[in-house]
Amino acid sequence: MKSLRYYRQPRRVRGYTVPVTLVGLCDVRTAAKIIHHELPELSREAHLGMHERARRAAQRAKSAWARVADREMFALRGRPFQAVDYKVAGIGCSDFSPRGKEVLRRLARTASSLRAVADIHAHLAANHGRYARKVA
């Protein structure tokens, strides 16, 4: 799997007035077309493998986020983080320590980006024949 840097690199895309990233595109199909254009040699199996690796990495980032949120909530209120505590996107609670909030932001962005990468490669694997015919 390419590093997240590849997927977060801004690109000029027809239909957008500003450079966009592959993980920032709302449409998985557009991101899939760009990846297929840039990496046409990837097989369906390669896309399936990249999907699975990105999915597992996203799950690890999500689990790490939960552990950090629990640690921060224990330090703040002496109990684990709960769904009702989620008040601020990405960080959960504005009362957390500055260091904890930064770690939570980074983990939330990473998990979100990895889920997008997994979705893109799942789409490419499922529709591999359609994209392969366009290049030939």
In the chain, where the domains are located:
4-135
At position 40, the amino acid (one-letter code) is P
Nearest 5 degrees, angle CA 114-CA 55-CA 86? 65
Residue 30 contacts residue 128 (beta carbons within 8 Å): no
What pTM was estimated for this model as a whole? Answer: 0.87
| pLDDT tens track for 55-110 | 999 999 999 999 999 999 999 999 999 988 888 889 999 999 999 999 999 999 99
| pLDDT tens track for 97-109 | 999 999 999 999 9
| pLDDT tens track for 24-66 | 887 899 999 999 989 889 999 999 999 999 999 999 999 999 9
- Tell me what percent of the residues of the chain surpass a pLDDT of 90: 74
| pLDDT tens track for 2-18 | 788 999 999 998 888 99
Instruction: List all residues 6 or more positions away from 67 whose beta carbon is below 8 Å from its beta carbon.
Output: none
Residue 116 contacts residue 23 (beta carbons within 8 Å): yes
Dump the DSSP string for 33-71.
HHHHHH-TT--HHHHHHHHHHHHHHHHHHHHHHHHHHHH
